[in-house]
């Protein structure tokens, strides 16, 4: 009985460490997005704050999805910082508009559903075999199930990237796609018609 309790305590302590690490990574994603936005466009800070607040108001929104969105924002803002003046202004305008569009609870929930379905392998996984092969080459020591989970996650990021990168880089062009995502009842069909790249 004591050994079982000791095992339970150790398991609980491992969960605490994993949870703490997960939130440290998320906090870092927030900080990087914020610092990069602050560097290129002070007027975008409230938009970033609104988006984070909206994401935080959705209790079941996957933390990895939130990190991914913030990572894309960081990269787009970094692109603005490194661009010449005219292009920089265009990137900032698109970034602002894209964050406004992304601050939509229904859209975030649909992206979360899409992410979950891809992780579970319940929708078509475009380029899954290629991702799985890359994972096996990089992380050959992982067990087969973990490799599959990582490959599915890469496919999910590909799908989400089309939507999120599209909205942040070309909001006028990708807003109809986002609306279609929100309105669809069949995410499996939606991903079949999703463009491959932004």
pLDDT tens for 15-25 read: 788 778 778 88
CB neighbourhood size of 149 (10 A): 15
Length of the chain measured in residues: 198
Tens-digit pLDDT profile for residues 149-191: 999 999 999 999 999 999 999 999 999 999 999 999 999 999 9
**Helix 85-102 with 171-183: angle, nearest 10 deg:** 10
Tens-digit pLDDT profile for residues 80-139: 999 888 899 999 999 999 999 999 999 999 999 999 999 999 998 889 889 889 988 988
- The answer to whether 164 and 174 are in contact (CB under 8 A) is no
Tokens standing for residue 5: 């309790």
Nearest to 114 by CA among 10, 168, 175, 194: 194
Cβ neighbours of residue 74 under 8 Å, at least 6 residues apart?
29, 32, 33, 36
């Amino acid at each position: 009985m004591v050994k079982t309790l000791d095992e339970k305590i150790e398991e609980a302590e491992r969960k605490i460490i994993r949870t703490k690490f997960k939130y440290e990574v998320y906090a870092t994603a927030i900080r990087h997005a914020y610092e990069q936005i602050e560097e290129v466009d002070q007027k975008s800070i409230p938009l970033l704050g609104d988006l984070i607040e909206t994401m935080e108001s959705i209790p079941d929104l996957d933390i990895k999805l939130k990190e991914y969105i913030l990572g894309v924002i960081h990269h787009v803002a970094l692109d603005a910082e490194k661009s010449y003046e005219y292009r920089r202004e265009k990137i900032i305008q698109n970034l602002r508009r894209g964050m406004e569009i992304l601050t939509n609870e229904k859209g975030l929930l649909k992206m979360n559903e899409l992410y979950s379905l891809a992780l579970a392998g319940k929708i078509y996984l475009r380029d899954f075999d290629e991702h799985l092969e890359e994972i096996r080459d990089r992380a050959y020591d992982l067990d087969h199930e973990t490799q599959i989970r990582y490959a599915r996650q890469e496919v999910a990021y590909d799908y989400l990237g089309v939507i999120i990168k599209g909205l942040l880089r070309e909001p006028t062009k990708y807003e109809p796609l986002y609306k279609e995502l929100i309105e669809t009842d069949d995410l499996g069909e939606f991903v079949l018609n999703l463009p491959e790249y932004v």
